[in-house]
Amino acid sequence: MKVLANDGISDEGKKALQNAGYTVITDKVNQEDLATKINEENYEIVLVRSATTVRKEVIDACPGLKLIGRGGVGMDNIDVAYAREKGLKVINTPASSSQSVAELVMGQLFSISRFLNDSFKNMETGDFNTLKKNYAKGVELRGKTLGIIGFGRIGQSLASYALAIGMEVKALEIEQKEVEIELPEIKGFGTPKVKIQVENDWSTFLPACDYISIHVPKQANGEAVINEKEFELMKKGVRIVNAARGGVINEEALITALETGKVAYAALDVFENEPTPNKSLLNNAKIATTPHIGAATLEAQDRIGLELAQLIVNEFGNK
């Protein structure tokens, strides 16, 4: 079977597929040529990340396609329900990148607490003493409350890091439940565990948070999860991170909240208009930005590639 890994695949994943008898092609195909190339080359499996979309038109145009794989968590760039209706297998790798995304969020939390992003931009051209004064009002994470919206694998991984540095963690989902979080192993002390009571009431959750990190998928109706009314409920001076999906925060409402001081600082790894985000977000001194790199670590890419390979072999066997 021929596999098109259109957004790439790790060497480990490619090797695992090749060892199982699959032909793996990693040459990038432009989005507009995707259906044509799938048919011309008789690709039966297409693997994507976030750059390539596999919509109804591609699915309809490619009757030989058997499986679509997404290296990562969210599958909003694939018409999943339609593909499955047409008999295609659709897979993703929800567990492989959790730690990497959680670590990026921790980095963002530190960045927006100590002005790391903005100070880095200004150190080369700014006056040292002026900058020292401008960035002299940082805050510590220890003792602060982190609210995690969406408490799946990534949210829980983030919670383990936050708890380990002394933050209090609150979690919000549609349904209340209790989740046991396993902290990183401490030599000589084993693996501590903490129970988190997941809440479902926005009106009590949001005002209690010093920091908020969002870990929910893009909504089916296309609406943002955080809008003006959610910002109004937040404590003044809250800091907020989005490393989930562009569009889950209303970007215009975020800019307004930054201007009024409701939000002190924000960090964004994802944007509504990728790959051309709103310039007013990129140029805002109160927003730390990264170019959708949550899962982009060498370790995560190896895990993703190997998991995709295993899922494919489980489905179709060795060739």
So which residues are the catalytic ones? 245, 274, 292
Q: Say how far apart CA 165 and CA 315 lie, in whole Å.
A: 41
Amino acid making up residue 26:
T
Q: Which residue has 């919670």 as its token pair?
A: 159
Residues 147, 189: Cα–Cα separation, whole Å: 27
CA distances from 256 to 43, 109, 261 (A): 47, 21, 9
Q: Is 128 exposed, middle or buried (0-12, 13-18, 19+ CB in 10 A)?
A: exposed
How far CA 159 is from CA of 117, 151, 193, 262, in Å, comes to 23, 9, 11, 24
